[in-house]
């Protein structure tokens, strides 16, 4: 017994604090190399939703959006854009038509992907399954490129009637209140930047875009609470603002939030509606309808902090 105690006292247990444990993050190589990678990396970026208007479904536009979702999952996006024949804004019509024949999609109502669940007319199917009571649905797709056979598994794709940010996006939306109060938490940081200034101009809003966008987020959230209207993030092919972190890639796919897109569109307009709104609502603590025309709201509606 004494010998056993001697052995035990010679043993020690070292406990490593949790703060000293270094996690090993495995980097996934999401470079596109062959058609099977589309299935392998589908939803790698966790965004697989397309927005449609059930009244005017354009299948060419729908499939272009689907190609963008696919390309977004990969590192070599420009190459994938070309392989898929993705219609980017600067391509000619002839090139878009020619390239668009490279990938073919088939759609299904069930993940089984069986022939009995194949959707023969996608436009009619979506029109029948999307309405005010059912603003979203799920379909599945298979694909083939060139002479390749269809891929093995049907891939999940979400389709919604939630619109993306655009001028007049809330046209036809009815509001029961004449004054919409935006929570001050969305304007606090902007107020700090403004300081003792009596007014702001376009240059100020450009230099302080982050806090200006925060205010726009508050406006959209206020409208959402009153109407239930949710806007969808927009996947856009944009200039890379930090090329050194992305292997000098000049352009890339990026999810743009509704408030970011709203800011971009407003700053591209020649009028001073956003400047006027900030001066009246944030600095003067008054009300404003300066953004109503852009949003598609009645001029009777006014925004105020509170």
Tokens for 94, please give them: 């002839």
Crossing angle of helices 122-129 and 59-72, in 10° steps, is 90
Measured at the alpha carbon of residue 261, what is the angle toward residues 267 and 300, in degrees to the nearest 5?
75
DSSP H or E segment with residue 265: helix 258-268
Question: What is the DSSP-derived secondary structure letter of residue 178?
Answer: S
What's the first-to-final CA gap in the chain, in angstroms? 77
Output Rg (C-alpha) for the chain, integer angstroms. 26
User: Which of 124-159 are b and which e, b meaning 16 or more Cβ less than 10 Å from the residue's Cβ?
Assistant: ebbbebbeeeeeebebbbbbeeeeeeebeebbebeb
If we measure between CA atoms, which residue out of 192, 196, 227 comes closest to residue 210?
192
- Find how far residue 171's CA is from the centre of its chain: 21
CB atoms within 10 A of CB 57: 17
Give the whole-angstrom CA distance, residue 200 versus residue 299. Answer: 23
Pairing outcome for strands 136-145 and 302-305: unpaired
pTM, two decimals, is 0.85
Burial label for 5, CB within 10 Å (0-12, 13-18, 19+), is exposed
Q: What pLDDT, on the 0 to 100 scale, is given for residue 301?
A: 96
User: What is the predicted pLDDT for the residue at 241?
Assistant: 83
Half-sphere exposure of 109 (CA within 13 A, CB side): 13
Strands annotated E in 187-301: 234-239, 251-256
Spatial separation of the C-alpha atoms in residues 17 and 7, rounded to whole Å: 26
* Residues comprising the chain, all counted: 306
Give mean pLDDT in consecutive 10-residue pieces for the chain, a chain of 306 residues: 48 49 71 97 96 94 97 96 85 45 91 97 97 95 94 97 97 92 98 97 98 99 96 95 72 97 96 97 98 96 97
What pLDDT is attached to residue 24? Answer: 61
SS3 at position 42: coil
Contact 47, 233 (CB under 8 A): yes
Rounded to an integer, what distance in angstroms lies between the CA atom of residue 187 and that of residue 286? 13
Q: How much is the pLDDT for 132?
A: 87
């Amino acid at each position: 017994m004494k010998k056993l105690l001697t052995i035990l006292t010679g043993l020690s247990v070292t406990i490593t604090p949790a703060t000293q444990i270094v996690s090993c993050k495995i980097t996934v190589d999401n470079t596109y190399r062959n058609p099977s990678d589309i299935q392998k990396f589908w939803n790698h970026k966790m965004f697989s939703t397309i927005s449609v208007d059930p009244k005017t479904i354009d299948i060419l536009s729908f499939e272009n959006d689907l190609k963008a979702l696919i390309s977004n999952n990969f590192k070599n996006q420009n190459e994938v854009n070309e392989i898929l024949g993705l219609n980017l804004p600067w391509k000619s019509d002839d090139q878009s038509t020619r390239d668009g024949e490279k990938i073919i999609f088939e759609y299904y109502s069930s993940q089984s992907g069986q022939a009995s669940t194949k959707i023969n007319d996608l436009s009619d199917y979506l029109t029948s399954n999307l309405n005010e009571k059912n603003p979203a649905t799920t379909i599945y797709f298979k694909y083939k490129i060139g002479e390749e056979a269809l891929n093995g598994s049907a891939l999940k794709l979400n389709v919604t009637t939630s619109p993306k940010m655009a001028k007049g996006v809330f046209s036809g939306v009815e509001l029961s209140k004449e004054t919409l109060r935006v929570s001050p938490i969305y304007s606090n940081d902007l107020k700090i930047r403004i300081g003792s200034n009596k007014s702001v101009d376009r240059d100020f809003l450009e230099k302080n875009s982050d806090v200006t966008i925060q205010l726009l987020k508050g406006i959209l959230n206020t409208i959402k609470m009153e109407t239930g209207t949710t806007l969808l993030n927009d996947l856009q092919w944009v200039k890379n603002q930090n090329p050194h972190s992305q292997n000098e890639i000049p352009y890339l796919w990026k999810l743009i939030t509704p408030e970011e897109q709203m800011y971009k569109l407003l700053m591209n307009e020649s009028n001073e509606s956003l400047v006027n709104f900030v001066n009246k609502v944030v600095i003067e603590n008054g009300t404003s309808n300066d953004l109503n025309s852009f949003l598609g709201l009645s001029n009777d509606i006014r925004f105020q902090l509170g």
